[in-house]
C-alpha cells in the first residue's frame, strides 16, 4: 500500500510539473515610452512559473533613476510593474542590464518608443543580459527578435507539441503528414493574424482548456486506431488538423498579445513570429518522424507498448483540461 501511495504522489508531482510547462516559458517584457526630455514610463512584465515570480529586474545607467509608479499587478502567468525612469541624458546610447537573467531560461523583449515617434525593439538572453540601447530599430532587429520568439513559443509550448506529435503518430505516410501539418499551419496562421490585428477574439482561459481537450481527442483516436476501429483523424487528418488549428491560432495570439508588437512594424513582426513558429514546428516534425522511422524497424511491438504514447498523452492532456477548467473560477 505504501508503495502505491508513493507512486501516486510521484505521478501527481510529475503532472504538476508538466502543468507549469504546458505553456511555453514566456519572455519577460520591458516597455519604455518617453514622456518628455527627461522622463520615461516603464512597464516591466515578469513571467511567473506556478506561484513563483522570477527575481529579475532592469538596471539602467547610473545617470538614470528608476522609481516605482504604482503597485505591482498580477496578470495571466505574469506580474506587471510600473515605474518612472528619469535621466538628464539621452536613453539611446546608454546601457541596460537585466539583473539575474543569467540564472534563468527566460528571454527579455525590450520595446522603446521615443518622443519623436521612433521605435526600437531588441531581445536580451540569459547569455547576453546587457545591451546598448539603440535610437531606432532596424527591420532586421524586428525580424530576428520575433522569429526567435516564434521558435521559442512552439518549442516551449508542450501542449502544442503534443498535439502535433499525436497527429504525426496517427497519420501514415510522409506526404500525408506534410499535408496535415500544412493544414494545421494554414489554420493557426489565419486565426493568429485575425486575433492580433483585432478582427477576431476569444477569451484565453476557455481557448486553453479546449486546446488541452483537443489533445485528449487525438489520444482517443490513437487508441481507436490500435484496436482497428474507424478513426476520423486517420481518414481525414488534414480536416482535424485544420479545425483544431484554428483554435490553436488563438492560443498563439494570446502569447503574442501579452508580449506586444512594435507599433511601427506590426505586419513585419507578426509575419516573422509566425515564421518562427513554423520553423520550430518543422524541426520538431523532422525529429519525431526520424525517431518513428527508426522505431518502425521493430515490427513486433506488443499492443500494450503501442498504447503507451496514447495513454501518456491522453492522461497529461486530461489533467491540463481539468486544471484549466477549474482555473475559470480561481
**Could you tell me what percentage of the chain is helix, strand and coil, using 3-state DSSP and rounding each to the nearest 5?**
55, 20, 25
Q: Strand, helix or coil at 197?
A: coil
Average pLDDT rounded to a whole number, residues 188-204: 87
Residue 4: pLDDT above 70? Answer: no
Residue 326: what pLDDT? Answer: 83
CA angle 230, 208, 249 (to 5 degrees): 80
pLDDT of residue 20: 43
Across 171-180, 182-191, 304-313, which has the greatest mean pLDDT? 182-191
Which domains are seen in the chain, by residue range? 28-136 (2.60.40), 152-329 (no CATH)
pLDDT at 73: 73
Q: What tens digit of pLDDT does each residue of 266-283 get? A: 788 888 888 988 899 889
If you average pLDDT over every residue of the chain, what do you get? 82
The pLDDT value given to residue 21:
43
pLDDT confidence of residue 234: 86
Quick one: pLDDT band at residue 239, thresholds 50, 70, 90? Answer: very high
| Mean pLDDT on 158-166 | 90
> How wide is the angle at C-alpha 163 spanned by C-alphas 157 and 167, nearest 5°?
145
> Bigger pLDDT: 188 or 117?
188
Percent of the chain's residues with pLDDT above 70: 85
pLDDT in tens, 204-228: 788 889 999 999 999 999 988 888 8
Between 75 and 169, the more confident residue is: 169
pLDDT of residue 166: 92
**pLDDT tens digits, 281-318:** 889 989 988 888 887 776 676 767 778 888 999 999 99
User: What pLDDT is attached to residue 86?
Assistant: 94
- What does the pLDDT read at residue 136? 65
Span 26-47, mean pLDDT? 89
Mean pLDDT of 312-328: 88
Q: How far apart are the first and last CA of the chain?
A: 33
Is 94 a residue whose pLDDT tops 80?
A: yes
pLDDT value at residue 7 = 39
Give the confidence band of 70 by pLDDT, cuts at 50, 70, 90: confident
Element (H, E) at 43: strand 39-49
Q: Is the pLDDT of residue 23 over 50?
A: no
pLDDT of 52 strictly over 80: no
Predicted pLDDT of residue 258:
67
Distance CA 293, CA 169 (A): 11
Backbone angles phi, psi at 107, to 5 degrees: -95, 165
Burial of 182 (0-12, 13-18, 19+ CB in 10 A): middle
pLDDT of residue 318: 92
Given a cut of 80, whether residue 170 has pLDDT beyond it is yes
Amino acid at each position: 500500500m505504501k508503495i502505491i501511495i508513493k507512486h501516486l504522489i510521484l505521478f501527481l508531482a510529475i503532472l504538476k510539473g508538466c502543468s507549469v510547462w504546458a505553456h511555453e516559458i514566456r519572455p519577460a517584457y520591458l516597455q519604455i515610452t518617453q514622456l518628455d526630455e527627461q522622463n520615461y514610463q516603464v512597464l516591466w512584465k515578469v513571467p511567473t512559473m506556478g506561484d513563483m515570480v522570477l527575481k529579475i529586474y532592469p538596471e539602467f545607467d547610473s545617470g538614470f533613476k528608476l522609481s516605482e509608479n504604482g503597485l505591482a499587478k498580477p496578470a495571466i502567468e505574469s506580474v506587471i510593474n510600473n515605474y518612472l525612469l528619469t535621466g538628464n541624458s539621452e536613453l539611446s546610447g546608454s546601457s541596460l542590464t537585466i539583473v539575474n537573467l543569467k540564472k534563468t531560461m527566460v528571454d527579455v523583449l525590450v520595446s522603446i518608443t521615443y518622443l519623436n515617434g521612433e521605435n526600437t525593439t531588441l531581445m536580451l538572453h540569459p547569455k547576453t543580459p546587457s545591451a546598448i540601447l539603440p535610437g531606432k530599430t532596424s527591420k532586421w532587429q524586428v525580424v530576428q527578435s520575433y522569429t526567435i520568439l516564434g521558435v521559442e513559443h512552439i518549442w516551449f509550448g508542450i501542449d502544442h507539441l503534443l498535439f502535433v506529435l499525436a497527429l504525426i503518430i496517427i497519420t501514415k505516410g510522409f506526404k500525408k503528414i506534410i499535408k496535415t501539418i500544412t493544414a494545421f499551419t494554414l489554420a493557426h496562421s489565419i486565426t493568429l493574424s485575425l486575433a492580433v490585428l483585432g478582427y477576431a477574439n476569444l477569451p484565453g482561459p476557455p481557448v486553453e482548456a479546449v486546446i488541452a481537450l483537443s489533445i485528449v481527442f487525438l489520444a482517443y483516436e490513437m487508441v481507436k486506431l490500435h484496436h482497428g476501429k474507424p478513426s476520423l483523424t486517420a481518414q481525414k487528418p488534414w480536416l482535424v488538423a485544420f479545425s483544431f488549428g484554428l483554435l490553436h491560432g488563438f492560443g498563439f495570439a494570446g502569447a503574442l498579445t501579452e508580449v506586444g508588437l512594435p507599433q511601427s512594424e506590426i505586419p513585419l513582426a507578426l509575419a516573422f513570429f509566425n515564421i518562427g513558429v513554423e520553423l520550430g514546428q518543422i524541426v520538431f516534425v523532422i525529429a519525431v518522424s526520424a525517431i518513428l522511422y527508426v522505431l518502425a524497424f521493430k515490427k513486433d511491438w506488443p499492443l500494450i507498448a503501442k498504447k503507451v504514447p496514447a495513454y501518456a498523452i491522453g492522461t497529461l492532456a486530461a489533467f491540463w483540461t481539468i486544471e484549466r477548467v477549474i482555473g475559470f473560477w480561481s
